[in-house]
Amino acid sequence: MQRTLVLIKPDAVQRRLIGKIISRFEEKGFEIIGLKLMVISEELARKNYSVHKGKSFYEKLIKFIISGPVVVMVLRGKNVIDVTRKMMGYTAGHEAIPGTIRGDLAMSERFNLIHGSDSAESAEREIKLFFGKKGLIEQRQTDLKWIYDMSGDDIT
């Protein structure tokens, strides 16, 4: 199973959308194996978004992400990175397709509610930054056979 990091950004927290956003991932069948509410330090924000250093939006992104509490979570599941990014929708809310998180709940490009890892390498780097080596709880969930059809021929 693959893992990814998701940040519910300050705008979503301030708009009280935490439950709505988390429920979408749970209803899809992803496991939450790490979850916390925190204010990201500037140092951590700069490490996390280091790939964007030098881009025109970098400083505004840092200022925004440290402006208030965020929810940080690690999701685990089959193809979780790709599926999570599809569920999030295009970066700019006004361009995102209805049915996606941003398509349903966002209008702005800058205040776009959510961040998700864009690759397996990014996911592992981001998970380590936010949760370290022992910050996750991984246990086998009994409903996975129904979500991923892992039951074989016997569904009892």
List residues with catalytic annotation. 115
DSSP letter at 81?
A: H
Cβ-based neighbours of 127, under 8 Å, separated by 6 or more: 3, 5, 34, 74, 117, 136
Which two three-digit tokens encode residue 123? 């996911």
- Contact, 113 vs 12, CB < 8 A? yes
Going by C-alpha positions, the residue among 20, 137, 131, 135 that lies closest to residue 76 is 137
User: What is d(CA 99, CA 20) in angstroms, rounded to the nearest whole number?
Assistant: 13
Classify strands 2-8 and 114-116 as parallel, antiparallel or unpaired.
antiparallel
